[in-house]
Amino acid sequence: MADLYLFLFITICIAIVGWSIIRLERIYQFPFFMASVFLSFILPQAIAIVDNPGIAVTNTALERMLIYSCLCVAMCWLGYQFSPNENRLNSLNIEIDEHKLFKAGLVLLTIGLGCSFALSRIEIQIAANNQWTGIATILSFFQGTLNIALPLFLLRALKNPSVLNIALTAITAFPTLQAIILAGRRQPTVAFLITIGLCIFIGKRYIPPRFALVVLIPIATYVIPLLGRLRGKFWELVFTANWEAIQSNSQEGLEAVIEGEILELRNATLVMDYAVQLDQYGYGRELWNNFIFGYVPGQLVGWQFKESLQFNNNYDLAGFYGYQPHSGTTLTGMGDSFMDFGFFGCLFFALMAYVYKTLWVSTIKGKSMISTLLYISLIDSAMVSVTHGIGRFLNEFIFKVGILFLIAYYGKASKSKETKLYPIP
């Protein structure tokens, strides 16, 4: 049955991509982005774990994981089909003073660049779980202001391509480009390309031809995993036109995934099975622990106090299965959502889809600048909900919503905008 569920998963993902390509503006919308992540990140691992489940993974656990993955990706489309509440849309339709918005962008840029510079000058401490700890986590947290500043200045540059606007856009993009070219980071690469594409669509209503999409989607599926394998060496090989080395590394990377020795999806499968076997669900404890980890600085309040705020949500995979997740791997969004809520965890993806639909309609129909900046800056956070977990997404969502709430409060024009929205599609 595992092969059947795998086929169903592939069918759902391809159907969502096809739904997007039928009307090309849908490629900038939430279901397309999420289906693309499931195809590029989850599918190769799903094929690998079906072929090589490992000693600890039973057929029942494998089938459960595949069924749940089908539900999660399906919810990304289904939740998007509900029409947003018109009162909520009107509440997002805030007229922002352009001058104040520009000054807010400068503040975000200053904070982001300052944190980026400081981060490059300190010794980063690594905790036992291979995650950053110490002052680096605070600097990395506030460096995220650049993710909001970039679309802000890029949209200004597209509207008014002055030297100042272009220069500020380039300065804002510099740390991200540095992470892309020198470190070969996948998430900044994808986030940067999405930001560029969305800004061009929103600012100029440009949609690439359908043929280009058919070609680019397989290329992206090929290149993104390769970036993760080669890191900064990828661009070195591209700039030197060493295509043979790129092909060789790609083949080795594909074989490594297919062999299935290290798979995040295996982590997810066993965590899900552990929750079922021991009837041990978190009921939101994992989300809470992630929130405390991200928002309570142990350097200021003390590590012992920070730990006291967290629940003991220890899943002893090593003791129960004789399996130890590889250092640096994640539980994926399927793993941590099921860990907390069981099969009902897939509804989190439906809720995300509804939120993004609201922001999309507010951006396109209501012309809301706040919704526009929030939508663009949150797309990469949505992808993280698949690759890393819904806890990581929730932390980024709270941060970006908080920043834009402050911008809206500061930059609100003297008279509120009373614009009647178009009928919601």
The domain spans of the chain are 2-411
Q: Given a cut of 60, is residue 110 above it in pLDDT?
A: yes
Q: Given a cut of 80, is residue 15 above it in pLDDT?
A: yes
Q: How far apart are CA 377 and CA 151, in angstroms?
A: 8
Query: What digits encode the pLDDT tens for the residues 326-336?
Result: 777 888 999 99
- CB of 77 within 8 A of CB of 354? no
pLDDT of residue 129: 56
Which three-class secondary structure state does DSSP give residue 91?
helix
pLDDT of residue 414: 64
Contacts 24+ apart (CB under 8 A), 176-182: 176/146, 176/150, 180/235, 181/232, 181/235, 182/232
> Which positions ≥6 away from 336 have C-beta within 8 Å?
271, 286, 389, 390, 391
Among candidate residues 253, 324, 340, the one with its CA nearest the CA of residue 40: 253
Confidence of residue 12 (pLDDT cuts 50, 70, 90): very high
> Which positions ≥6 away from 106 have C-beta within 8 Å?
168
Q: How far apart are CA 202 and CA 157, in angstroms?
A: 13
Residues in the chain: 425
Query: What digits encode the pLDDT tens for the residues 158-190?
Result: 999 999 999 999 999 998 888 777 766 667 777
Lowest mean pLDDT: which of 4-13, 279-288, 306-315?
306-315
pLDDT of residue 397: 92
pLDDT of residue 251: 59
Q: Average pLDDT, whole number, for the chain?
A: 83
Give mean pLDDT, residues 33-42: 89
Q: Given a cut of 60, is residue 55 above it in pLDDT?
A: yes
pLDDT of residue 417: 45
pLDDT of residue 257: 57
More confident residue, 413 or 229: 413
- CB of 133 within 8 A of CB of 363? no
Give mean pLDDT, residues 83-102: 87
- CB of 306 within 8 A of CB of 292? yes
Q: Given a cut of 80, is residue 315 above it in pLDDT?
A: no
More confident residue, 145 or 193: 145
Among candidate residues 321, 314, 307, 322, the one with its CA nearest the CA of residue 339: 314
Which three-class secondary structure state does DSSP give residue 132?
strand
SS (H, E, C) 154-207: HHHHHHCCCHHHHHHHHHHHHHHHHHHHCCCCHHHHHHHHHHHHHHHHHHHCCC
Lowest mean pLDDT: which of 113-117, 225-229, 302-306, 408-412?
225-229
Written as one letter, the residue type at 3 is: D
Sign for the pseudo-dihedral over CA of 52, 54, 60, 62:
negative
More confident residue, 58 or 207: 58
